[in-house]
Structures are given as structure tokens and as C-alpha cells.
Amino acid sequence: MSRDEQLKIRWQAVVELLSRRFADGETLDLDAIIYLVGLQELGQLHRKFKKDEKINLMHIAICRLLEPFGYYEFEYFDEEGWPHFKILEQLPPLKAGEQSVLMKEAIVLYFMERNVIQ
């Protein structure tokens, strides 16, 4: 099986699992899954977030998801428990489709590391 086919199968497994658990029958998109990763990483699951905090949650997720690829490194938690990352390497210029594939690969790796999917 090719790498692309394997990514597609694993991505679909993540989407189906998270959609069943969090979307009441709707299919979650990439942004929604990134947001859920941010919630997971922050660990403050049972509170309401303001709009700017929701953007920050997505930023946390992106940093965490791209950390294994060498783009970010965790630095510290602030006094409110929010994780902070430093940039190790700038992302190369990517087209929209390439960005999507990179994020899907990162999300699949994230859930595989946690033994959520295989």
C-alpha cells in the first residue's frame, strides 16, 4: 500500500472516530480537528473560550502537531496553564493542498502516538 493510500485510510479513521464522538453525526473538517487537538493539549476541556482563545487553541495544536517535524519546540506553561512553543525552523512556503496534507500527516501521527488509531 502506498504512503498516500495509508495516510488516506488513517485520516478517515481519525475523522470518523472524532466525528462520532464530538459532532453528533456531522463530519468534522480539518480545522475542527485541529481545534480539538488544541483543547486536548490545553487540558481545560470543560470551559467556554472566547474567540481569541479559540484561535490560540488552534495555534497550540499546530505547534504541537508540527513539533515532531522539527518546526516547533515546547518551551513552558504560563501561569494560566497555556503551553508556549518556540519556532525552531520556519515552515517552507506551501500551497494550500500541501499544507492540508502536512497537517493531516501530523494529526494522524498525533493519534497514532496516543494509540487511538493504528
Mean predicted confidence (pLDDT) in 75-100: 94
Give CA–CA dist 11/109, Å, rounded.
Answer: 10
- ∠ CA 60-113-43, rounded to 5°: 40
On whether residue 76 sits in a domain, the answer given is yes
On whether residue 40 sits in a domain, the answer given is yes
Please give the residue range of the domain that contains residue 94.
Answer: 3-113
pLDDT above 80 for 1: no
Mean predicted confidence (pLDDT) in 21-25: 87
DSSP H or E stretch at residue 27: none
On whether residue 118 sits in a domain, the answer given is no
pLDDT above 90 for 24: no
Q: 82: which 3 cell numbers?
A: 497555556
User: What single letter denotes the amino acid at residue 19?
Assistant: S
pLDDT of residue 98: 93
pLDDT of residue 100: 94
Confidence of residue 8 (pLDDT cuts 50, 70, 90): very high
Confidence of residue 2 (pLDDT cuts 50, 70, 90): confident
On whether residue 83 sits in a domain, the answer given is yes
On whether residue 19 sits in a domain, the answer given is yes
Structural domain count, the chain: 1
72 φ, ψ to 5°? Answer: -135, 160
Q: What is the mean pLDDT of the chain?
A: 94
pLDDT of residue 25: 78
pTM of the model: 0.92
Q: How many CA atoms lie within 13 A of 31 on its CB side?
A: 3
